Amino acid sequence: MSSQDTSIVDICCKKISDALETDNVKVQGAFDDPNGSHVSIEVVSEKFEGKRAVQRQQLVYKALWEELKGPLHAVDSMVCKTPEEAE
């Protein structure tokens, strides 16, 4: 798959998945934004254990830092849960 064939949503999903060692990642582009420059994110990861909400969000933003400096303009919403919280 070339970079032209990969959407920003797919790139974000992979980067979050890799950084937080989880396959339970959902990244969705805003309905009125076909380019995916605004996204909503849901993540379930053991890496969130013992962390406050802001610390969890910081881990996600860290994974997306390069995209936030370019094609990704905003994260409209973010839900970060541990596996226990997601049950």
pLDDT value at 10 more than 80: yes
**Alpha helix segments (H runs only) across 1-87:** 8-20, 53-63, 65-68, 83-86
Q: How far apart are CA 60 and CA 9, in angstroms?
A: 14
- pLDDT, residue 7, reads 87
For residue 50, count CB atoms less than 10 angstroms from its CB and return exposed for 0-12, middle for 13-18, buried for 19 or more. Answer: exposed
Q: What are phi and psi of 50, to 5 degrees?
A: 75, 5
Taking residues 3-11, report their average pLDDT.
Answer: 77
Rounded to the nearest integer, the mean pLDDT of the chain is 91
